Amino acid sequence: MLHRYRSPSRKVFELVNYSLFIVFSISILIPFIHVISISLSSFAAVEGNQVSLWPVEFTLQAYEKVVTNSTFIRSFVNTVFLTVINTVLVILVSLCCAYALSSKYVIGRKIIFMYILIPMFISGGLIPTYLVVNGIGLNNTFWALILPGISSAFYIIIFKNVIDQLPQEIIESAEMDGAGDYRVLFTIVLPLVLPMTMAFTIFSAVAHWNEWFGVLLYIRDNTKWTLQFQLRDILINASLTEAMEKNMIKNKVAAPIYSESLKMAALMVTVIPIIVVYPFLQKYFIHGVLVGAVKG
C-alpha cells in the first residue's frame, strides 16, 4: 500500500491549519449553544444565572410565546414573501440580462456592459438612493424593499462569463430549429448554468432573509417589518418581550418567562429556517462556486 510522502513543513502546516479551524469552530459553537440553552431554560434558572452550555429545567414556553405572537408571525410572513420575490426577480433579471449581453445580435453590448459595470465600483450613495426612492413615492411600501435591488451587476457579470463559455453550436442549432430567445434561455442555457444559478439563489435568499437596513430607512408601518428588523427591535428596544410579559401577567400565567429567554428564542426562530434549508442546497452551492471559478 502506497503512502503519500509529507514533508515536515507540510505536517506543521496541517497541524496549525487544523488547530485554527478547531478553535474557530469552537468559538462559533459555544455562543450558539449558550443561546439555545437560555431559550430552553426556566425563568428561575436564567434569572439566577445558572445556565451555561446545557438547559436548566427544560421548557419550551419561550418558543411557544414567540411563535404564537401575532406581531412576530406577521414579520415572519413578510420576510418569506420578500425573500421569495426578491430572490426570483434578481436571478431572473440577472440571467436575462447576461444572456442578452452574450448574444452576438445585440448592438452596442460592450457599451451596455460598461454601463452595468461602472455602478458596481461607483455607487450613487445612501442619500441619493433614499431621495430617489422617496421621490417616486415608494416610502412605506414593499416596493421600496424590492425595486432598488432588483438587479445585481456582480451576478450579471458572472452569468455572462459562464454563458460565453457554453458551446455556441447548441444555441445556434436551437435557433435554426425556430426556438425563440426565451425558449433557448430557459430550456437550453438555464439547465447548463443551473449550478451557478442555485449558488446565486442561495446567496440572494440568505441576503434578503437577513435584510433589515432597508426597513429602517423606508418603512414606518410596523405591519410591514421584516423578521430581522423585528428581532432588532426585540434585542434593542425589548418592545415585543415587554408586550409578551404584560400579556402573561394579564392572563395570569403561572410560570413566568424571563425576557432573555424570549429574546434568545426569537433569535433562534430567525436562524432555524436557514440552518434547515442550507444542507439540502449545499451541493449546488459548492458545484456553482467551482463552475464559476474554472475558466474555459
Using alpha carbons, select from 189, 168, 174 the residue that is nearest to residue 95: 189
% the chain with pLDDT above 90? 10
Section 283-294 average pLDDT: 56
Q: Pseudo-torsion of CA 171, 177, 180, 181, nearest 10°?
A: 0
pLDDT in tens, 261-271: 778 888 888 88
Q: Would the pLDDT of 3 be above 60?
A: no
Q: Give residue 289's pLDDT.
A: 54
Which amino acid, 63?
Y
The three cell numbers locating residue 159: 452569468
Section 16-30 average pLDDT: 90
- 261/294: higher pLDDT: 261
Q: Give residue 35's pLDDT.
A: 87
Q: Would the pLDDT of 85 be above 90?
A: yes
Residue 258: which residues within 8 A CB-CB, separation 6 or more? 43, 46, 47
Which amino acid, 109?
R
Section 123-140 average pLDDT: 86
Q: Which domains does the chain have, with CATH numbers?
A: 61-296 (1.10.3720.10)
Enter the pTM of the model. 0.77
Instruction: Name which of 14-28, 147-161, 170-184, 226-240 the model is least confident about.
Output: 226-240
The rounded mean pLDDT for the chain is 81
Residue with cell 410596523: 222
Would you call 138 exposed, middle or buried from its count of C-beta atoms within 10 A (0-12, 13-18, 19+)? Answer: middle
Which amino acid, 160?
K
Section 54-72 average pLDDT: 83
